[in-house]
Structure 1
Amino acid sequence: MEKTNRNIQGPRSKVAIIGTGSVGTTLAYTLMLREVAGEILLIGRNQAKAEGEALDLRHAQAFLPSPARVRAGVLEDAVDSDVVVACFSAPQPATLTDRNAMVRKNAELMREILPPLAKIAPDCKLVIVTNPVDPMTWLAIQLTGFPPERVFGTGTVVDSIRLRELLSADLRIHPDDLRAYILGEHGD
């Protein structure tokens, strides 16, 4: 049997994920499995955690045909990123019942992180996952000066996926065979 050379470069896009909690790390894992990025950069306030997550992800690529370059870094490493995903958040109290209560603290983080990011990666597409998604997306447009068509909030995408999953379970139909959308503000 002839041995084939596999492309170990993968796609050429660079995706920087700011925030290495559950959402950011799961996103990195998904991008890696789907082979949609040539480079995945994890940026977190806890550098040791970001390094550990990057190492785990690199190890998990052993059987992928096109492994991505996965590494941890700092904001300055986001230079030339094609896509930057904001998954960061201020610590949430266990008693949090309304995601809108996170506006003030997460807006402070946005003001700290996004203006320098806009200088480092001025041509990137920016995806906002940070809650509350809708106000944070609007704030991101203001803070970066990016045109609105390059700043995306994920709020109702998540809500729509949750609705499809619920309908799928109730109707016993695969979620991919359903089309259902939630429009409006992401929330409870």
Structure 2
Amino acid sequence: MEYLVTMTTHVPDGTPGQAVDDVRAREAAHSRDLAAEGRLVRLWRPPLQPGEWRSLGLFAAADAGQLQQTLASMPLKIWRTDQVTPLAPHPNDPGPGTRPGRSGTEFLATFVITIPDGTPRQAVEEAEAREAVRARELADQGHLERLWALSGHRRALGLYRAGDSAEMQAIVKALPLDPWMTAELTPLTPHPSDPAAVSSRDRRKP
């Protein structure tokens, strides 16, 4: 199972800078180990306020208990609080490693679909079928990287890549389910310990 974890770090006042640097170095090394073991899949930075220290991590674990063991093993946990969001399989998920490479910014998109009362069932099924086709097209184009179901009725989380916010907004507005959907977009910036970035750097080494 996969989980999205929002990790917020608060370093106590008066903590020596060297101590912070040491913990961060151990965190980076441990993140590489977790990635090699398949437990840490991705890491990102969301938009941050000045002085804010927060990361988003995509983790894989057999269950919630194993995830908590993974999170507890991370050196920064001594100063960190974690918010865990379980991610369930989505029928339109292209799956990891199936997309072509594309430059641009990654976005997390949280979707909530509300079907108006009285909408014919056939209209819903046709829109959902067109949504599945469009998801495959976006994956083939390198825009849709992953898609998960969230707890609650008709809620989903997508990982997308686009040239900028305007292009990402256009992608969402063109989705067949957009007339019944609200979307919250979070732009992501690279994290130095992101397994995908580390793997890319390793491939470029002579």
Higher-helix-fraction structure: 1
Shared fold by TM > 0.5? no
Task: Pick the structure with more strand per residue.
Answer: 2
Give the TM-score taking structure 2 as reference length: 0.28
Indicate the structure whose relative CO is greater, using CA pairs within 8 Å and at least 6 residues apart: 2
Q: Which has the larger radius of gyration?
A: 2
- Under a length normalisation based on structure 1, what TM-score does the superposition of the two structures give? 0.30
